[in-house]
Amino acid sequence: MEGHIQIITAIDHMQQQARRLLQTGKTIAFVPTMGYMHEGHLGLVREGREHGDTLIISIFVNPTQFGPAEDFQAYPRDLDRDVRLAASEGVDIIFAPEAEAMYDTAYQTYVDLELLPRYLCSASRPGHFRGVATVVTKLFNIVKPHVAIFGEKDYQQLVIIRRMVRDLHFDIRIIGVPIVREPDGLAMSSRNAYLSEEERESALSLFQAVQQAEKNVAQGVRDASQLIHEASELIRSYPYTKIEYVALCDPETLKNVDRVDGPTLIALAVWVGKTRLIDNTILEPIEN
């Protein structure tokens, strides 16, 4: 039910509010977002509502996770709409800081994991996960949540954050929420707004490739190279597509695998026109 929602932009104000909530015994559930909210974000919000007395979301397009040639300036933003959607889902507080406050001119501290960022998106997005790990650490220190909710669509990000939380001993429970899809299967993403009508049709190739891999594994295919080849051929059969990667890897370490002998992540990144899209699922072989 829609209700009063508090919008906080100042970091010290957010920290003070978080301390007050903790002092009164409230549990804080937190959903970090970059805004331009869609049903995928709202699924995270609804999950968060189940895990805390106070539900806080952040809306912050984080500059340090965008490369020089990426879409930081063009990334879609609509704070008024985001506020309406958040209020309709019972969000208590929106934290929407300014970039200049999060990263002042003398800023020089970053969080950088050693191994997990080397896989999947690393080749095309060097430094991306350093920016993600840094901003999430900062947001955790500001919002002080007990529970934080992330989407499984950004699977590598989720694995990295879970590892970071363990390594740095954050007293925060991380919950992953399954991908939310359009009725035709396209994974919901703020970047879907970039797609033309024709590109939108080609974007369905990602989900279809994931489905094909699931079907092949169910039929007994275990060879990773064969699964990757068939998924890639399906994607290439559509116009406007350019594959960045199709990978089969260990769901925890993200290391590539040669065979699907247990739960295996299939992850893919594909350019559709000028829009970079990702998708994934866990392949579960069933032994006869």
| CATH code of the domain in which 224 resides | 3.30.1300.10
**Is residue 104 located within the same domain as residue 155?**
yes
- Cβ burial, residue 98 (10 Å; 0-12/13-18/19+): exposed
Last residue of a domain, one of 127, 152, 177: 177
**Is residue 137 located within the same domain as residue 22?**
yes
**Is residue 122 located within the same domain as residue 212?**
no
Q: Quick check: helix, strand or coil at residue 30?
A: strand
**38 inside domain:** yes
**Is residue 173 located within the same domain as residue 260?**
no
Q: Are 195 and 167 in contact (CB under 8 A)?
A: no
Confidence of residue 288 (pLDDT cuts 50, 70, 90): low
Provide long-range contacts, Cβ within 8 A and 24+ apart, for 218-222.
218/286, 220/288, 221/260, 222/259, 222/260, 222/261, 222/285
Which pair of structure tokens corresponds to residue 88?
């309709």
For residue range 20-76, what is the model confidence (pLDDT) as tens digits?
999 999 999 999 999 999 999 999 999 999 999 999 999 999 999 999 989 999 999
Angle, alpha carbons 55-113-169 (nearest 5°): 50
CB neighbours of 23 closer than 8 A, spacing ≥ 6? Answer: none
pLDDT of residue 123: 87
Q: Which stretches within 36-119 are classed as H helix?
A: 39-49, 79-88, 99-102
Confidence of residue 3 (pLDDT cuts 50, 70, 90): low
Q: How many domains does the structure of the chain reveal?
A: 2
For residue range 101-154, what is the model confidence (pLDDT) as tens digits?
999 999 999 999 999 999 999 889 999 999 999 999 999 999 999 999 999 999
**Is residue 87 located within the same domain as residue 221?**
no
User: Among residues 179, 175, 240, 247, which one has the least CA distance to residue 209?
Assistant: 247
Mean pLDDT of the chain: 96
**Is residue 10 located within the same domain as residue 71?**
yes
Last residue of a domain, one of 128, 152, 177: 177
Average pLDDT over residues 150-166: 98
**What angle, rounded to 10 degrees, do the helices at 79-88 and 39-49 form?**
40
Q: How many residues would you count in the chain?
A: 288
**184 inside domain:** no
Q: Are 282 and 176 in contact (CB under 8 A)?
A: no
Question: How many Cβ atoms sit within 10 Å of the Cβ of residue 61?
Answer: 18
User: Among residues 176, 211, 234, which one has the least CA distance to residue 283?
Assistant: 211
**Is residue 28 located within the same domain as residue 164?**
yes
| CATH code of the domain in which 90 resides | 3.40.50.620
**1 inside domain:** no
Last residue of a domain, one of 177, 210, 236: 177
For residue range 232-263, what is the model confidence (pLDDT) as tens digits?
999 999 999 999 999 999 999 999 999 999 99
Domain that holds residue 199: 190-282
**Is residue 151 located within the same domain as residue 241?**
no
Average pLDDT over residues 165-189: 97
pLDDT of residue 1: 39
Average pLDDT over residues 257-280: 98
**Is residue 167 located within the same domain as residue 230?**
no
What pTM was computed for the model?
0.95
**Is residue 126 located within the same domain as residue 228?**
no
**229 inside domain:** yes
Q: Which stretches within 89-122 are classed as H helix?
A: 99-102
Average pLDDT over residues 259-274: 98
**277 inside domain:** yes
**Is residue 129 located within the same domain as residue 20?**
yes
Residues forming the active site: 41
| Residue 253: C-alpha distances to residues 142, 191, 224, 248 (Å) | 29, 27, 17, 12
**Is residue 170 located within the same domain as residue 231?**
no
Confidence of residue 189 (pLDDT cuts 50, 70, 90): very high
**167 inside domain:** yes
**287 inside domain:** no
**63 inside domain:** yes
